Amino acid sequence: MKRRHYIAFAVVIVLTIIVLKLPPRAATQFKLAISSFFLPLLGLASSSEKIAAKAGNAVVPRKDLLKDNEQLHRENAELKIQLQQHDEFKRENERLRAMLGFQKRIPWNIRPAHVIARDPANWWRNVRIDRGKRDGLRADLPVLTADGLVGRVSEVSETHSRVVLLGDPSCPVSAMILDAKNEKVDGGVIRSGASVLNESMVELNFLRNPDAVKPGQVVVTSDLGGTYPAGIRIGEIVDVRPVDFGLVHIARVKLAAKMNLLDDVWVMMP
């Protein structure tokens, strides 16, 4: 009996070493292959969630629906007016960029995706979405919600992908801070979350001009690094504090996207 235990122990050690020593590409492929076993269950959970939501919608009082509808109509009308103004700005911007010889801006091409799973380990910030290679996704595409940036695609299989969220150490984002006049105040890099427990707070490092950074200022992506286009909203400055005996300053940023309630996201296609 004891002998069997030790044989099993040796087998597990050898197997673990083999799996851990797999080349990164092979390990990723192997991982995606194993995770695909969960797809039917994840699909089932997603469908049942939708059915439950539909059932919930059926019992919403008509009065509330009419109220929501009226509010949406009003918002839609406001947005239409704003869009007219933005169209004018766009035309003007294109004209000026052409006059200065700047490169033409490419409009964002976004594709919807649904979050089907979260990382079961507490020490990573990742989600899995129901879009993959067959939908045209590839690694490093930005992922966002209507509120702001969420993260980037990190691994892609045929039918699903893994998205690494803002605050995870493997998702650094180059950011800039804008003041009330939308002028750049400072810049930095978001490297990690501010707290293990609070997913909506991240730290902005490498501030060059910390005195100009004030709570409430908006943080957006800068196009340094090449992964994210400039101007995607990230969040708002909460506070700035000195670290390492005042040699450097770190700002805490409250993310605009609700990271703990991610359900539907948008992938920015190339």
Residue 203 near other proteins by CB under 8 A = no
Which one among 110, 111, 124, 238 touches other proteins, defined by CB under 8 A? Answer: 124
Kindly state the smallest distance separating residue 30's Cβ from other proteins, in Å. Answer: 6
| Cα separation of the two ends of the chain | 59
Kindly state the smallest distance separating residue 137's Cβ from other proteins, in Å. Answer: 17
Residue 118 near other proteins by CB under 8 A = yes
- Measured from the CB atom, is 120 or 246 closer to other proteins? 120
Cβ atoms of residues 75 and 82 within 8 Å: no
Kindly state the smallest distance separating residue 104's Cβ from other proteins, in Å. Answer: 37
User: C-alpha 256: how far from its chain's center?
Assistant: 10
- Where is 175: in which H helix or E strand? strand 173-178
Compute the distance between CA of residue 255 and CA of residue 205 in angstroms, rounded to an integer.
Answer: 15
Closest CA to 143 of 158, 127, 121, 157: 127
Which one among 57, 103, 122, 182 touches other proteins, defined by CB under 8 A? Answer: 122
Which one among 114, 159, 178, 198 touches other proteins, defined by CB under 8 A? Answer: 198
User: ∠ CA 67-68-73 to the nearest 5 degrees?
Assistant: 100
Residue 139 near other proteins by CB under 8 A = no
- Tokens 């703990």 appear where? 260
Cβ atoms of residues 187 and 176 within 8 Å: yes
Which one among 45, 60, 81, 96 touches other proteins, defined by CB under 8 A? Answer: 45
In a 10 Å sphere around its CB, with 0-12 CB exposed, 13-18 middle and 19+ buried, how is residue 57 labelled?
exposed
Tokens linked to 227: 């992964």
The residues near 157 (Cβ < 8 Å, ≥ 6 apart) are 32, 35, 36, 132, 133
From 34-42, 212-220, 222-230, 239-247, span contacting other proteins (CB under 8 A): 34-42
- Measured from the CB atom, is 151 or 235 closer to other proteins? 151
Residue 164 near other proteins by CB under 8 A = yes
Kindly state the smallest distance separating residue 191's Cβ from other proteins, in Å. Answer: 10
- Tokens 């673990």 appear where? 16
- Measured from the CB atom, is 175 or 194 closer to other proteins? 194
Residues of this chain that bind other proteins (CB under 8 A): 4-5, 8-9, 11-13, 15-16, 19-20, 22, 27, 30-32, 34-35, 37-38, 41-42, 45, 116-126, 128, 154, 162, 164, 167-170, 192-193, 195-199, 260-261
